[in-house]
Homo-oligomer: A and B are copies of this chain.
Amino acid sequence: MKKKIRVAQYGLGPIGSSIVRLMRQKDSLEIVGAIDKDPAKAGRELGEAVGAPDAPWGVLISPDAESVLEKPLDVIIHSTSSYLTSVMDQLLECIAAGCCIVSTCEELAYPFRKHPELSQKLDAAAKEEGVALVGTGVNPGFVMDKLALTLSAVAQRIDWVSAVRIVDASKRRLPLQKKIGAGMTPEEFHAQVAAGVIKHHGLPESIAMVADGLGFALDDISETIEPVIAEEIIKTEFLEVAAGQVAGVHQIARGVSGGKEKIFMELKMYVGARHPADTVVLKGEPHLTLTIPGGTHGDVATAAVVVNSIPAILAANAGLRTSRDLPLSFFPPDAKP
């Protein structure tokens, strides 16, 4: 029998905790450690901290990376921040320990355009250690980029791409409802946007990934963020939004080449959203439309994509990879390592 894949979790927010619970279901994974500097978590038993029904597992959460990284490890699952600059040291430390990394850091999903030097540094470090790393998730990482690129395999010519994701935040957790500004006044919303608090990260990364995959030489990627205003009262399990208040975010990003829009991406994430769906359109030969009615559930799918990427990142060539490079599919729970 081959040894199990040894994994550790870096960051135990809601997504990190959900990832840990899912990893526990895979027979071929052994969770050997977890890292979270939050004093409310560090020192606790991991299974209990993530609310696993079969806790305790006998794994303690460490406040620092060193004690976890000194163990023999195959893969670190990393989810601490959306910003690449904030996580560079964490990633480089994991690479130096000889671990492959799957990260939910949105800017890592396709960092070459916004952070070319950091990308180069990560790629070089990973190649030197013979490990691979990838930033992924449902968005960026899947519905608006990987899925669009996969669909593009049946196209003879592509002129324009659109990816639209409409998410009903009513069914999501309270922190997410707050993060999108639900219940704020439009003024509060704009102030929070200006302060960098309200924003879904990843649309420019998805646009850059799709553009490079399709051979579109973009001059510019632009991005806007506006509130969705409630037209009538909206109640969720956690909060209430009055008419005229903010129901959520409406983000649009565009990739432009030679003055022409080549890629359009739109994310509407708000409480009470009607017709939630993920829709990709490729105009060209032939025209192609792909729809996931109801949409891909953000939290469930992000944890899934991350855990399902473990076999692919272990099989990948060393270096900084993206979901564009990796053949992704479900990781069977009883797969042999």
Contact = CB atoms under 8 A, between A and B. Distances in A.
B153 A330 contact: yes
Given A214-B332, A327-B324, A150 B147 contact: yes
Given A215-B334, A335-B215, A154 B329 contact: no
Quickly give the copy total for this chain. Answer: 2
Interface stretch (A1-9, A110-118, A172-180, A284-292): A284-292
Interface residues of A, number: 50
Contacts of A300: 154, 156, 285-286
A146 interface: yes
Interface string A282-302: 000110111111101100110
B296 A289 contact: no
Interface string A317-337: 000000011111110111100
A213 interface: yes
Interface in A192-244: 213-215
Contacts of A146: 150, 153
Interface of A: 22, 25, 138, 142-143, 146-147, 149-158, 213-215, 285-286, 288-294, 296-297, 300-301, 303-305, 307-309, 324-330, 332-335
